[in-house]
């Protein structure tokens, strides 16, 4: 049963040592908790989901290439036999900085140190129609929704007689030319070229457009110019229509309105155009940058606070080498968490803290089979070898031996057969009222 926000979260023992509460078990929160395992701190880690999500591969869940369980890892499993780490599935709503407490849907908890690592969510730039009708991809459930939507589109299209009616159902428009948009568009084009025509021989896939829209003048803005050009070339090779310098103005579920360009009819608008940092009540306006990220110093300490820290996508850390802050990518989150864990351990020895320094390990993106681009600090390459490096790096980064093995086998099978076997349309059904009593429902963990 959900507790009042003013009563403490039940069954969390009083700490023998200082308590660090971590909000969010993404890349940053998880790394911090793991690095502080078996230390002289009590770690309470809270997340609205009971699993860690590997976001870089969500697009493969959306395009039926990987199962959700291959890119999600149960958090409780990670903390077996680690006595000083306690996990609760909870939505954190508010900080009471004076009382050193946070309020969640399960109740409240006090902290000696608070670490916020809530990541970011989809940014619709204030357009309510787009928010209502598009499909974002920031979570496993959103990726599954996209998979269901794409498959149900073709199950519907196959029953329509006129091509005019079929067209908007078959077209897919992806907005956002970052790594997510590029990978999603490439993957959908591969489905169209190789997989869907075998499943739906009655449909003509020449009529299916895969369009990638980007407001700027190039794709993958964080990569080197040569890699960007190569990615564009690969997408075109797959038959993706790339529209650069194009602004989406509105979407009503059927027609994408573009600034100064012809509208596009589609029932499927996938939104990968931007993110905004998550936040919670109790943070003051001057602790936030205009883009919503929370302002931290070189130790990731929230401005004006002594015992509150912010990591990863949620924070903005401006320095001499990074006047606009660090990019919102996994490596920054992981490295910041590693540095903060070291500093907490220095604190136990009464030693001085070390400032964070970001080590850029490079960037990469894959467009399709044997087509990827990799920028390392001193060398860039593309093609089959880059694709192999991309596969290897992502495989190594996935948590758990079973997941690594599952992903490796799935990728190998897909490479040989090009027949992703997850084209299943599984629609969750609500449990009947009288059976709900002991189930956690969406309202218990989402806002
Ligand atoms: C589709 C996609 C593809 C990406 N691809 C790449 C890539 O290829 N390479 C790369 O480097 N980066 C990539 N990124 C970005 C990368 O995933 C993020 O930079 C990284 O996840 C940031 O880590 P984080 O710990 O700050 O936040 P996250 O990993 O997002 O973790 C935030 C956690 O906080 C939890 N949370 C949020 N609000 C609350 C709340 N109120 N209460 C409780 N829990 C809460 C969430 O459930 C989540 O578990 C991608 C992102 C997406 C969405």
Q: Is 281 a catalytic residue?
A: no
Q: What pLDDT shows up at residue 442?
A: 56
Express each pLDDT in 240-296 by its tens digit. Answer: 999 999 999 999 999 999 999 999 999 999 999 999 999 899 999 999 998 899 999
| Among the listed residues 81, 90, 76, the one whose alpha carbon sits nearest the alpha carbon of residue 10 | 90
What is the architecture of the domain spanning 128-274?
3-Layer(bba) Sandwich (3.50)
Q: Where in the chain is the domain with CATH 3.50.50.100?
A: 128-274
318 touches 324 (CB < 8 A): yes
44 touches 32 (CB < 8 A): no
Pick the CATH number of 18-48+90-122+276-348 from 3.50.50.60, 3.40.50.1220, 3.40.50.280, 3.40.1390.40: 3.50.50.60
93 alpha carbon – ligand 1 mean position (Å): 18
Q: What pLDDT shows up at residue 1?
A: 43
Q: What pLDDT shows up at residue 162?
A: 87
Q: Is the CB of 58 under 6 A from ligand 1?
A: yes
Integer CA distances (angstroms), 159 to 153, 200, 207, 427, in order? 10, 11, 16, 20
Express each pLDDT in 148-161 by its tens digit. Answer: 999 999 999 999 98
Express each pLDDT in 101-116 by its tens digit. Answer: 999 999 999 999 999 9
φ and ψ at residue 170, rounded to 5 degrees: -85, -30
Q: Which of 155, 183, 441, 442 is catalytic?
A: 183
Angstrom distance (rounded) from CA 38 to CA 45: 14
pLDDT at residue 235 is higher than 80: yes
Q: Is the CB of 138 under 6 A from ligand 1?
A: yes
Q: Where in the chain is the domain with CATH 3.50.50.60?
A: 18-48+90-122+276-348
Q: What pLDDT shows up at residue 434?
A: 63
57 alpha carbon – ligand 1 mean position (Å): 12
Express each pLDDT in 61-79 by its tens digit. Answer: 999 999 999 999 999 999 9
Q: What pLDDT shows up at residue 2?
A: 46
> Quick one: pLDDT band at residue 443, thresholds 50, 70, 90?
low
Ligand 1 pocket: which of 121, 329, 442 to mutate (most atoms <8 Å of CB)?
Answer: 329
């Amino acid at each position: 049963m959900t507790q009042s926000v003013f009563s403490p979260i039940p069954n969390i023992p009083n700490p023998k040592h200082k308590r660090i509460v971590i909000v969010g078990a993404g890349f940053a929160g998880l790394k911090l908790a793991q690095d502080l395992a078996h230390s002289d701190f009590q770690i309470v880690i809270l997340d609205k989901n009971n699993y860690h999500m590997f976001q870089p591969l969500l697009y493969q869940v959306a395009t039926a290439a990987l199962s959700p369980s291959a890119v999600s890892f149960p958090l409780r499993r990670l903390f077996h036999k680690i006595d000083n780490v306690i996990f609760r599935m909870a939505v954190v709503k508010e900080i009471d900085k004076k009382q050193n407490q946070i309020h969640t849907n399960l109740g409240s908890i006090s902290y000696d140190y608070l670490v916020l690592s809530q990541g970011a969510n989809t940014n619709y730039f204030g357009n309510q129609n787009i928010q209502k009708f598009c499909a974002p991809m920031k979570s496993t459930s959103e990726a599954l929704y996209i998979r269901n939507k794409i498959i149900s589109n073709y199950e519907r299209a196959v029953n329509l007689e006129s091509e005019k009616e079929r067209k908007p159902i078959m077209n897919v428009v992806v907005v956002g030319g970052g790594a997510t948009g590029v990978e999603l568009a490439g993957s959908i084009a591969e489905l169209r070229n190789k997989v869907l025509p075998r499943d739906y021989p009655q449909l003509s896939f020449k009529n299916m457009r895969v369009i990638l829209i980007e407001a700027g003048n190039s794709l993958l803005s964080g990569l080197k110019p040569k890699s960007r050009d190569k990615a564009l070339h690969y997408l075109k090779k797959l038959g993706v229509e790339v529209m650069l310098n194009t602004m989406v103005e509105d979407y009503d579920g059927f027609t994408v309105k573009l600034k100064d360009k012809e509208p596009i009819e589609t029932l499927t608008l996938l939104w990968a155009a931007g993110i905004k940092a998550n936040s919670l009540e109790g943070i003051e306006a001057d602790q936030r940058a205009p883009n919503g990220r929370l302002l931290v110093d070189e130790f990731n300490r929230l401005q004006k606070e002594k015992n509150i820290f912010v990591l990863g996508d949620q924070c903005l850390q401006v320095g001499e080498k990074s006047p606009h802050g660090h990019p919102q990518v996994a490596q920054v989150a992981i490295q910041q968490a590693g540095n903060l864990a070291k500093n907490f351990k220095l604190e136990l020895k009464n030693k001085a803290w070390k400032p964070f320094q970001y080590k850029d390990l490079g960037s990469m993106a894959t467009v399709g089979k044997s087509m990827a681009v990799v920028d390392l600090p001193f060398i860039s390459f593309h093609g089959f070898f880059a694709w192999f490096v991309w596969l290897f790096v992502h495989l190594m980064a996935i948590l758990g031996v079973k997941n690594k093995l599952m992903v490796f086998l799935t990728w190998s099978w897909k490479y040989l057969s090009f027949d992703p076997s997850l084209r299943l349309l599984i629609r969750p059904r609500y449990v009947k009222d009288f059976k709900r009593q002991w189930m956690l429902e969406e309202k218990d963990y989402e806002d």
